[in-house]
Amino acid sequence: MSFRLTYSTMFDPPPELHTRFDAAMARTLGALGTYHPLHIAGEDRRGKSF
Protein backbone atom coordinates (compact mmCIF):
# COMPACT_ATOMS: atom_id res chain seq x y z
CA MET A 1 0.00 0.00 0.00
CA SER A 2 1.19 3.46 -0.73
CA PHE A 3 -0.47 5.18 2.20
CA ARG A 4 0.00 5.25 5.95
CA LEU A 5 -3.08 4.33 7.95
CA THR A 6 -3.63 6.72 10.84
CA TYR A 7 -6.68 7.99 12.69
CA SER A 8 -6.59 11.09 10.50
CA THR A 9 -6.89 9.03 7.29
CA MET A 10 -9.67 6.68 8.43
CA PHE A 11 -12.47 9.05 7.37
CA ASP A 12 -11.74 8.24 3.72
CA PRO A 13 -9.73 5.00 3.39
CA PRO A 14 -8.64 4.00 -0.10
CA PRO A 15 -10.61 1.17 -1.78
CA GLU A 16 -7.49 -1.04 -1.71
CA LEU A 17 -7.75 -1.16 2.09
CA HIS A 18 -11.11 -2.93 1.89
CA THR A 19 -9.99 -5.24 -0.92
CA ARG A 20 -6.88 -6.36 0.92
CA PHE A 21 -8.75 -6.70 4.23
CA ASP A 22 -11.36 -8.96 2.61
CA ALA A 23 -8.63 -11.10 1.03
CA ALA A 24 -6.81 -11.42 4.37
CA MET A 25 -10.05 -12.42 6.13
CA ALA A 26 -10.71 -15.10 3.49
CA ARG A 27 -7.20 -16.54 4.02
CA THR A 28 -7.61 -16.44 7.81
CA LEU A 29 -11.05 -18.06 7.82
CA GLY A 30 -9.78 -20.71 5.41
CA ALA A 31 -7.00 -21.65 7.85
CA LEU A 32 -9.26 -22.09 10.89
CA GLY A 33 -9.33 -25.63 12.18
CA THR A 34 -6.13 -26.70 10.45
CA TYR A 35 -3.01 -28.05 12.12
CA HIS A 36 -0.59 -25.34 13.27
CA PRO A 37 2.37 -26.98 15.06
CA LEU A 38 4.47 -25.35 17.73
CA HIS A 39 8.13 -25.32 16.72
CA ILE A 40 10.07 -26.15 19.89
CA ALA A 41 13.74 -27.17 20.09
CA GLY A 42 13.90 -27.79 16.34
CA GLU A 43 10.80 -30.01 16.24
CA ASP A 44 7.16 -29.49 15.34
CA ARG A 45 4.94 -30.40 18.28
CA ARG A 46 1.20 -30.58 18.65
CA GLY A 47 -0.47 -28.51 21.31
CA LYS A 48 -3.08 -29.86 23.67
CA SER A 49 -6.48 -30.35 22.00
CA PHE A 50 -9.46 -28.88 23.78
**Radius of gyration (C-alpha) of the chain in whole angstroms:** 18
HSE-up of residue 15 (Cα within 13 Å, Cβ side): 0
Residues with Cβ < 8 Å from 16, sequence gap 6 or more? 1
pLDDT band at 42 (very low <50, low <70, confident <90, very high): very high
Q: Tens digits of per-residue pLDDT, 1-37?
A: 566 666 555 677 788 888 888 999 999 998 888 887 8
How far is 32 from 27, CA to CA, in rounded Å? 9
Q: What is the pTM of this model?
A: 0.49
